């Protein structure tokens, strides 16, 4: 069972994500975004979107740092006080994200205008995200020192998967809730190209910080975009 | 000098009868689609009035447009330095209008009129929301809710242009014998310094180099909606059904082929003019930074004289085609805005350097003015212009609306219009007196020839004189690939209706 879930499925799901992303971007670039519904409802959204996004961004950043430099986490955690700080911060932001997510779900379920623009994918995404955040927070609350585990067992497993030599033994001994967290994360990846999660991979906005304010396109002069008016 | 061409529309407000033919033809051509029902790329609002969306001119609320701070031009939306704040608000925008600031689009349950069982009462068609499909209790707002000053103490009283008016002047809202209103037809201004473009994190909005039309690339738009917040005129609209922003496209498929825009073509009052302007793109930033009192003059400065040999030479150097040059030389926009100085931009103080111009309305003088100096058309009096201060629409109001508060510019335009009227009346009816008519003209610096040209353009002009639109030379590249037209039917070019894997219609 573990072999299938953590040895084979990762490849299937990640391939789905990659192939799906390429397919959708090439065949239907128009839909590569997530549909905002703030225009239809903006009161509950405020209590959902802000906490959710900022909570989850911090938590995700923690995961990403741990993924690339697991040692940093282990070293940091070597001093108990620092371990507590890390765990508590992670938990706080996790709870923030959970609060936001619940507000967002409540909004989708109760507001008739928002319901009118809700697709099956949106519901699926919310379910997956809820499982992910609940198992994550559950981990933090029920089992202590998840950050150490993450760096010591989940990360090596991930690297083993990436190196095409999946070593299931890293994760086989983890508690059920942790396993659910990991497997659900894989499903999350697979969903990215097909759902509103696509906006997660929207990298355009960074350009905004460096480009000049005004954008001018010329048809005659060739080339897609020529920025001409430069402001300080 | 960086010479560029710009298509520009002008509006003769005195002639607008508020019939909304323009809005309806625009709607029929471009926005009768799901998600776009509430959009009126062309709308006509009553002034004084709250407008559409409600109080769009109130930038304390919406923070649209630009401000000059520390000598730099900065989007009002940003508040702090740099563009970071735009990105920080990417998950929730505090200044975004919602559908309730426009109105909930609705239809009526007409079928019920046919299907209702026989009974004692007349069947009625109840309103139904076009968003949710549910019946609506009652309709509380529409695209033109305070038309003709309906409910003016409630709606028009919030008009930001009333700022600085005395209490007795504000009585034009409520006192019948002082009442006056006029119409303000609005489309996107296709600004030289567009705030919508500057605010878009995706870089999806752009100004076309060849004709200055501002467009949103539908494939690149990622539904961040910053353009909706940043545009002080609220002319980009968010399509709630397919998650993209859209805006007035100046009917570019029509103008590219030399036809006037649908709104302008349909206009029953023939109040609209479309023409080409040449401007110097190097100076846009300086113009946008000019203090309020000199803002309109700076805008007139940046427009170049298409008959000046140096400008012609520069235009040739920039590769501007001869038909565009000729159009610029016959441009009604140039004549109205720059040469005769009778047209003014709408809210130049938003600093987007808008490129549509309005000839302010000459409203009747107040009845009470008559006792003072004998009324406006009194041929005995040489003080014709005194009455301009006593017109029903206070000059202050028009200045707030059209010249960033500079009353002199409004008075100049009104006096010129008045002088032309007097002069033409002398030609036609002959009761003004030749010398009085000439004196009126020379006091505003017009020659009889110019007066005749103005008269001709604003009252007799033919289709070809009102719309001087050169065809675009783009033989090699077209915006719409004709082979895809069949697939794109029903979307008027706004995205393909391909279905997502599960249940979302695009
Ligand atoms: S009027 Fe608004 S939408 Fe149109 S170009 Fe100007 S800033 Fe952009
Ligand atoms: S069609 Fe012309 S006259 Fe009628 S409302 Fe529009 S601009 Fe005014």
- B144 in A contact zone (CB under 8 Å): no
Mean pLDDT value across residues A101-128? 91
Higher pLDDT, A30 or B396: B396
Q: Which of B365, B497, B503 is nearest to B33 (CA)?
A: B497
pLDDT score of B396 more than 80:
yes
- B86 pLDDT tier (thresholds 50, 70, 90): low
Q: Contact B203/A199, CB-based, under 8 Å?
A: no
- What is d(CA A18, CA A26) in angstroms, rounded to the nearest whole number? 12
User: B195 to each of A215, B215, B216, how far by Cα in Å?
Assistant: 11, 13, 13
Cβ-based contacts of B281 with chain A (< 8 Å): 228-229
Contacts of A145 (CB under 8 A, 6+ apart): A77, A83, A87
Mean pLDDT of B327-354: 96
B93 & B239 share domain: yes
Residues B423-429: what's their mean pLDDT? 91
Give the pLDDT of residue A221.
58
pLDDT tens sequence across A168-197:
888 888 888 988 999 999 999 898 888 888
- The arithmetic mean of pLDDT across residues B202-217, rounded, is 91
User: Would you say residue B165 has pLDDT above 50?
Assistant: yes
Domain endpoint, select from B451, B466, B481 = B466
Identify the H or E element spanning B129.
strand B127-129
> Between residues B294 and A206, which one has the greater pLDDT?
B294
B contacts of A31 (beta carbons < 8 Å)? 498, 500, 506
- pLDDT of B489 reads 64
CA of B355 to the centre of ligand 1 (A): 10
Q: How confident is the model at residue B498 (pLDDT cuts 50, 70, 90)?
A: very low
Shortest Cα–Cα distance, A198 to chain B (Å): 10
pLDDT tens per residue, range B95-113? 899 999 999 999 999 999 9
For residue B176, name the pLDDT band (cuts at 50, 70, 90).
confident
Give the rounded percent of residues in chain A with a pLDDT score beyond 70: 92
Q: What angle do CA B41, B43, B45 make, to 5 degrees?
A: 155
Nearest CA to ligand 2 atom 8: B16
How far is ligand 1, taken at its centre, from the CA of residue B232, in Å? 8
Torsional class of B176: left (φ above 0), alpha (ψ -120 to 50), beta (otherwise): alpha
Return the minimum-mean-pLDDT range out of A113-117, A162-166, B372-376.
Answer: B372-376
Ligand closest to the CA atom of residue B205: 1
B304 and B443 assigned to the same domain? yes
Q: State the distance from the centre of ligand 2 to the C-alpha of A105, rounded, in angstroms.
A: 46
What is the pLDDT at residue B378?
Answer: 46
**Residues B272 and B212 occupy one common structural domain:** no
Query: How many percent of chain B have pLDDT more than 90?
Result: 58
Between vectors from CA B105 to CA B264 and to CA B352, what angle results, nearest 5°? 50
**Residue B471 lies inside a defined structural domain of this protein:** no
User: Does B114 map to a domain?
Assistant: yes
B292 and B242 in a single domain? The answer is no
C-alpha to C-alpha distances, B197 to A210, B206, B229, B299, nearest whole angstrom: 14, 6, 11, 20
- The best mutation among B65, B189, B252, B353 to test binding of ligand 1, ranked by most ligand atoms within 8 Å of the C-beta, falls on B189
Q: What number is the ipTM of this complex?
A: 0.84
Indicate the pLDDT class of residue B290, thresholds 50, 70 and 90.
Answer: very high
Minimal-distance CA residue of chain A relative to B70: A232
Question: Does B501 map to a domain?
Answer: no
Residue with the larger pLDDT of the pair A23 and B495: A23
Do B372 and B245 fall into the same domain?
no
Mean pLDDT of A132-138: 93
Q: For position A79, what pLDDT does the model report?
A: 82
Give chain A positions within 8 Å (CB) of B501: 121, 194
Sorting pLDDT into bands at 50, 70 and 90, what band is B456?
very high
Mutate to test the pocket of ligand 1, among B65, B214, B251 (most ligand atoms within 8 A of CB): B214
Q: Which of B53, B228, B501 to mutate to test the interface with A (most CBs of A within 10 A)?
A: B501
Smallest CA–CA separation between A218 and chain B, in Å?
5
Q: Are residues B236 and B275 in the same domain?
A: no
Residue B495 pLDDT level (bands cut at 50, 70, 90): low
Q: What is the mean pLDDT of residues B118-129?
A: 92
Residue A7 has pLDDT above 90, yes or no: no
Looking at the DSSP bridge assignments, the partners of residue B106 are: B129
A17-to-A63, A193, B48, B299 alpha-carbon distances in Å: 19, 6, 55, 52
CA distance B218 to chain A (A): 7
> Which of B133, B209, B228 comes nearest A216 by C-beta?
B209
CA distance B122 to B278: 61
Nearest CA in chain A to B503: A119
Locate B55 and state its tokens.
Answer: 């109080």
Mean pLDDT for all residues in chain B: 86
Q: Picking from B69-73, B100-104, B258-262, B480-484, which range would have the lowest pLDDT averaged per residue?
A: B480-484
pLDDT for residue B367: 52
What distance in Å separates residue B472's CA from the closest CA in chain A? 11
Residue B492 within any structural domain of the chain: no
What is the structure's pLDDT at A171? 84
Q: At residue A115, does pLDDT exceed 60? A: yes
The residues pairing with B72 across neighbouring beta strands, listed in sequence order, are B69
Q: A213 alpha carbon to ligand 1 midpoint, in Å?
A: 14
Q: Are residues B232 and B309 in the same domain?
A: no
In ligand 1, the atom with minimum distance to the C-alpha of B195 is 7
Is there a single domain that holds both residue B223 and residue B268?
no
Model confidence at B376, pLDDT cuts 50, 70, 90, reads very low
CATH of the domain at B273: 3.30.70.20
B246 and B312 share one domain: no
Asked if residue B279 is part of any domain, the answer here is yes
CA atoms of B247 and B237, how far apart (whole Å): 6
> Does residue B352 belong to the interface with chain A, where contact is any CB pair within 8 Å?
no
Residue B197 alpha carbon, nearest atom of ligand 1: 8
- Give distance in angstroms: CA of B357 to centre of ligand 1: 14
The pLDDT, as a whole number, for residue B479 is: 54
Which of B299, B292, B285, B294 is CA-nearest to residue B404? Answer: B292
Interchain CB contact of A54 with B (< 8 Å)? yes
Q: Residue A226: what pLDDT?
A: 43
Same domain, B324 and B416: yes
In this predicted structure, the answer to whether residue B382 has a pLDDT above a threshold of 70 is no
Q: Please answer whether residues B239 and B258 qualify as being in contact, where contact means their C-beta atoms are separated by less than 8 angstroms.
A: no
Q: Percentage of residues in chain B with pLDDT exceeding 70?
A: 87
The phi and psi torsions of B204 (rounded to 5 degrees) equal -80, -25
Could you give the angle at which helices B322-329 and B309-317 cross, rounded to 10 degrees?
150
Contact of B238 with chain A, judged by CB distance below 8 Å, is answered with: yes
Give one DSSP letter per residue of B322-346, joined into a string.
Answer: HHHHHHHHT-HHIIIIIIS---EES
Of A77-91, B394-408, B472-486, the least confident: B472-486
Structure confidence at residue A203 (pLDDT): 61
The closest of B111, B66, B444, B457 to B284, measured between CA atoms, is: B66
Lowest mean pLDDT among A137-146, B10-19, B444-453, B468-477: B468-477
Chain B nearest-CA residue for A29: B219
Average pLDDT over residues A19-40: 82
Which of B229, B251, B273 finishes a domain? B251
Considering every ligand atom shown, identify the ligand nearest to the alpha carbon of residue B200 and give its number: 1
Do B450 and B347 belong to one domain? yes
Domains of chain A in start order, with CATH, are 2-24+42-231 (1.20.950.20)
Q: How many CB pairs under 8 A join A and B?
A: 164
Residue B476 has a pLDDT of 42
Give the position of tokens 């969306």. Answer: B53
Ligand 1 midpoint to CA B273 (Å): 19
| Structural domain for B309, as ranges | 262-466
Which one of A20-24, B376-380, B439-443 scores highest in mean pLDDT? B439-443
**Inter-chain touch B98–A204, beta carbons under 8 Å:** no
The mean per-residue pLDDT over the stretch B419-439 comes to 89
B122 with B243, same domain: the answer is yes
pLDDT at B315 over 50: yes
* B270-286 b/e (C-beta count within 10 Å ≥ 16 → b): ebbbbbbbbbbbeebbe
Q: Give the end of a domain, one of B225, B251, B277.
A: B251
How many independent structural domains does chain B possess?
Answer: 2
């Amino acid at each position: 069972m573990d072999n299938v879930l953590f040895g084979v499925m990762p490849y299937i799901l990640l391939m789905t994500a990659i192939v799906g992303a390429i397919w959708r971007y090439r065949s239907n670039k128009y839909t590569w975004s997530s549909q905002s519904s703030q225009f239809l409802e903006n009161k509950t959204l405020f209590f959902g979107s802000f906490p959710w996004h900022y909570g989850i961004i911090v938590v995700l950043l923690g995961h990403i740092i741990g993924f690339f430099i697991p040692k940093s986490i282990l070293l940091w955690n070597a001093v108990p006080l620092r371990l507590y700080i890390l765990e508590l911060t992670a938990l706080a932001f996790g709870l923030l994200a959970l609060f936001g997510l619940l507000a967002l779900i409540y909004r989708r379920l109760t507001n008739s205008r928002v319901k009118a623009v809700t697709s099956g994918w949106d519901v699926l995404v919310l379910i997956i995200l809820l499982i992910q955040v609940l198992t994550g927070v559950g981990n933090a609350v029920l089992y202590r020192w998840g950050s150490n585990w993450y760096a010591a067992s989940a990360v090596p497993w991930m690297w083993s998967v990436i190196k095409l030599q999946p070593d299931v033994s890293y994760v086989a001994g983890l508690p059920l809730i942790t396993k659910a967290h990991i497997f659900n994360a894989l499903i999350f990846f697979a969903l990215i190209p097909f759902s509103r999660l696509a906006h997660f991979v929207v990298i355009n906005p960074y350009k905004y910080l460096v480009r000049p304010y005004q954008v001018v396109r010329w048809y005659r002069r060739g080339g897609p975009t020529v920025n001409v008016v430069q402001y300080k | 000098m960086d010479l560029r061409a710009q298509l520009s529309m002008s509006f003769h407000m005195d002639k607008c009868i508020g019939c909304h033919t323009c809005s309806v033809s625009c709607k029929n051509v471009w926005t009768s689609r799901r998600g776009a029902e509430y959009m009126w790329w062309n709308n006509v609002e009553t002034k004084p009035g709250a407008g559409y969306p409600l109080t769009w001119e109130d930038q304390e609320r919406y923070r649209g447009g630009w401000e000059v701070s520390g000598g730099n031009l900065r989007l009002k939306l940003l508040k702090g330095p740099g563009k970071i704040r735009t990105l920080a608000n990417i998950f929730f925008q505090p200044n975004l209008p919602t559908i309730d600031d426009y109105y909930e689009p609705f239809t009526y349950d007409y079928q019920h009129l046919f299907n209702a069982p026989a009974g004692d009462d007349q069947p009625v068609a109840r309103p139904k929301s076009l968003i949710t499909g549910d019946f609506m209790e009652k309709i509380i707002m529409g695209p033109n809710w305070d038309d003709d000053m309906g409910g003016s103490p409630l709606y028009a009283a919030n008009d930001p242009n009333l700022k600085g008016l005395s209490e007795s002047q504000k009585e034009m809202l409520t006192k019948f014998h002082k009442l006056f209103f006029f119409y303000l037809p609005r489309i996107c201004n296709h600004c030289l310094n567009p705030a919508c473009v500057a605010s878009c994190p995706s870089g999806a909005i752009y100004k076309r180099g060849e004709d200055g039309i501002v467009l949103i690339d539908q494939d690149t738009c990622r539904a961040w909606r910053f353009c909706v917040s940043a545009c002080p005129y609220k002319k980009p609209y968010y399509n709630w059904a397919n998650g993209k922003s859209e805006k007035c496209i100046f009917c570019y498929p029509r103008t590219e082929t030399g036809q006037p825009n649908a709104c302008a073509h349909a206009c029953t009052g023939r109040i609209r003019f479309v023409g080409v302007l040449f401007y110097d793109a190097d100076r846009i930033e300086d113009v946008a930074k000019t203090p309020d009192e000199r803002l309109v003059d700076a805008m007139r400065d940046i427009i170049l004289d298409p008959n000046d040999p140096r400008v012609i030479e520069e235009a040739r150097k920039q590769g501007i085609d001869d038909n565009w040059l000729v159009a610029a030389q016959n441009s009604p926009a140039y004549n109205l805005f720059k040469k005769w100085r009778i047209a003014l931009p709408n809210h130049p103080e938003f600093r987007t350097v808008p490129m549509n111009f309005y000839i302010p309305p000459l409203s009747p003088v107040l009845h009470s003015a008559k006792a003072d100096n004998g009324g406006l058309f009194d041929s005995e009096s040489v003080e014709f212009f005194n009455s301009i201060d006593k017109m029903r629409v206070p000059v202050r109001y028009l200045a707030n609306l059209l010249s960033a508060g500079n009353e002199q510019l409004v008075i100049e335009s009104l006096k010129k219009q008045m002088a032309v009227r007097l002069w033409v009346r002398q030609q036609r009816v002959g009761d003004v007196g030749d010398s009085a008519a000439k004196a009126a003209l020379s006091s505003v610096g017009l020659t009889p020839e110019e007066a005749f040209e103005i008269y001709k353009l604003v009252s007799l002009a033919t289709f070809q004189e009102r719309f001087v639109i050169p065809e675009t030379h783009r033989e090699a590249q077209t915006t719409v690939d004709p082979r895809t037209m069949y697939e794109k039917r029903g979307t008027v070019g706004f995205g393909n209706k391909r279905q997502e894997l599960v249940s979302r219609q695009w």
